[in-house]
Chain A
Amino acid sequence: MKPLLKLTDVNSYYGKIHALNNINLEINEGEIVALLGSNGAGKSTTLKTISGLIKPKSGSIEWNGKSIVGAPVHKIVESGIIHVPEGRRIFSGLTVTENLELGGFTYRKDKKWVKEGIERSFDLFPRLKERAKQLAGTLSGGEQQMVAISRGLMANPKLLMLDEPSMGLAPIIVQEIMRIIREINKQGTTILLIEQNAKAALRLANRGYLIEIGNIVMHDTAEVLREDDKIIKAYLGA
C-alpha cells in the first residue's frame, strides 16, 4: 500500500539550530500514528515542517504521491492536511463561533457545510455551545483546547495533525478527547498525534515513532512500543 504521507530524509532548521535530522516517517491512510518524544525533541517541528510553516533544508515530503515541499501553507491546508498547533493558538479576539467559521475557511463557498460543521462541533463539545458568543480569549484553558480541535475539524481534513491535544485538560475531558479522536478516525480521517500522555496515545494509535533530539530513534506498532523498556521508563511509568 502506498503511504498517504511520506517524509524522506527531512532536515529542518531554526536559524542555526538543527531541529530535525534526516527524519523518515510514513503515514498510511486510515491510521492513527503517535509521535512521542521528550521536550524539545522536535515533534512540533515535524508537524510544522509538514504543514509548511517551516521549509525543510533538504529531504522530500510526499502527500498522496505528490511533493509538497515549498508549497504555501494555505495550499497544503486546502489539500487536506490540517495542523492543530501546540498551545491552542485560537483567535482570542474572535468569538467561539467565528473561530469555527474560520476553521471552515477552505469551505467558505459552501455555507451549509460550515453551518453543519459548527453544529457538529457543538455536539462534540456541548460546553462550547454555552460559550458560542464569548470571545475565545476569555475561555478557560480547556475550553480553548476544545475550540482548537473543533476548529481543525471544520476543514474536513484527510490528515489531522494534533499537537498535544490533551494538554491542560481535565481527566474527564481527556477521556472525551481520546474518544473523539478515535471517533474521527473511524469516520475516515487519518491522524498524526503528538501526546505527552503516552499511555493514552499508545492505546489509541496503530503505530508510533519515538523522536529524540531531532532523530527518529524507534518506530514500531503500538503494541511493541508499549512493551519497550525505554518507553516505559521515560513515558509510561512503571
Chain B
Amino acid sequence: MSLLTVKNLKLQFGGLLAVNDLSFTVEKNSISSIIGPNGAGKTSVFNMITGFYRPTSGEIELDGISLINKKPSQITTLGMARTFQNLRLFPNLSVLDNVKSGMHCRTKQAVFGALFQTKSQKAEEKLIEKVALDCIEFVGITKYLKRSAKNLPYGAQRYLEIARALATKPKLLLLDEPAAGLNFEEKQYLIQLIRRVRDEFNITVLMIEHDMALIKQISEHITVIDYGCKIAEGTPEEVLKNEKVIEAYLGKEEVV
C-alpha cells in the first residue's frame, strides 16, 4: 500500500522547468530513495511535498489526503517530517530546545495555560521534554544536550536534524542527503539509524542521496530523475545497472 503518491508533478521557475511531469509512489514502511544528477530537481520535489514550493501543476497525496495548497506546518501536522540539504537548525538554541520544536504540532497549550501554569500545561511540558529526550537519545547525541546547535560538530548537527524531525511523530520522514560529509564509519552508523527509524517507529523513509554504497545497503526502492523527469525506477540492482542512469548519473568509473 502506498503512503505517498505523487502524480504528474510539475514545477516551473520562470523559464526553467525544474520538475516535469513526475509521478512516483512510496510504499508504507519502505526505505525509498530519489537519486539523480545535481540540479535534477530532487530537492525541489521535497520542497513541493512539504509545501515550501507550490507545484505548477500535479497532485500529491499523503495517506489519501491531498497536500496541494497546504502550508508546510499543516503538512507536518498531517504526519510528514523532513531534514534539509543545507542544515536548518535553530542555531542559538540548545539541542534539547531544538528537538522540543518537533512536539509543537502534537501539543496544544496556549497562552492561558502558560500564564496560570495549569495542571495540563505542566503535564504537557513533561511529555514534550520526555519525547525530546527520547529522540535525542535515539540518535545518540545525548552528551550535547545543553550545547547550542551551531557549536556542534557537523555530523551531530545532522543527527540533531533527524531527532527534531522524529519528534513530530511523522508517518513519512524525508531526508535530503543525510550522509553528506560523513566518513565511512559514520555512514555505517547512519545506516543503522535509518533502519531503526523504520523498524522501531514504523516510519517510512524517503531520502535523497548521492552515496551509492549507502543506497545499495538500505534502499529498497529507487526513483531516478534527470532534468525533472523520471528516467528509471526499481530496486537498486535494477537501477544501478540501467544504461541511462549510468550515463547521466553514475559514470563509468567507480568512485565509491
Asked if A235 is at the interface of the complex by the 8 Å CB criterion, the answer is yes
Mark out the residues of chain A between 181 and 238 whose CB falls within 8 Å of any chain B CB in the assembled complex. Answer: 196-200, 233-237
Asked if B43 is at the interface of the complex by the 8 Å CB criterion, the answer is yes
Asked if A170 is at the interface of the complex by the 8 Å CB criterion, the answer is yes
The answer to whether A172 touches B182, judged by C-beta atoms less than 8 angstroms apart, is no
- A-B pairs, 10 with minimum CB distance: A142-B38, A40-B153, A140-B39, A172-B251, A39-B155, A234-B185, A170-B37, A175-B251, A39-B153, A237-B184
Q: How far is the CB of B34 from chain A (nearest CB, A)?
A: 12
Q: Tell me how many residue pairs across A and B have CB atoms closer than 8 Å.
A: 94
Say which residue of A39, A138, A199 sits within 8 Å of B255 (CB atoms).
A199
User: Once bound together, how far apart are the Cα atoms of A234 and B155, in whole Å?
Assistant: 15
Interface of A is mostly: helix
What residue of chain B has the Cβ atom nearest to residue A176's Cβ? B251
User: Once bound together, how far apart are the Cα atoms of A127 and B39, in whole Å?
Assistant: 10
- Residue with the highest number of chain B CB atoms closer than 10 Å, among A14, A140, A176: A140
A132: which B residues are within 8 A, CB to CB? none
The answer to whether A200 touches B255, judged by C-beta atoms less than 8 angstroms apart, is yes
Q: How far is the CB of A92 from chain B (nearest CB, A)?
A: 11
A143: which B residues are within 8 A, CB to CB? 38-39
Other CB < 8 Å A-B pairs besides A14-B151, A143-B39, A175-B253, 18 of them?
A17-B151, A38-B155, A38-B185, A40-B154, A140-B39, A141-B43, A141-B177, A142-B37, A164-B181, A168-B38, A168-B180, A171-B251, A172-B37, A175-B251, A196-B181, A197-B255, A199-B255, A234-B184
Question: What are 20 contact pairs spanning A and B, CB under 8 A?
Answer: A14-B151, A17-B151, A38-B183, A39-B153, A39-B181, A40-B155, A127-B38, A127-B39, A139-B39, A140-B43, A143-B38, A145-B38, A167-B180, A168-B38, A168-B85, A168-B180, A168-B210, A170-B249, A171-B249, A174-B210
The answer to whether B213 touches A237, judged by C-beta atoms less than 8 angstroms apart, is yes
Q: How far is the CB of A124 from chain B (nearest CB, A)?
A: 15
Interface size class of A (residues with CB under 8 A): 35 or more
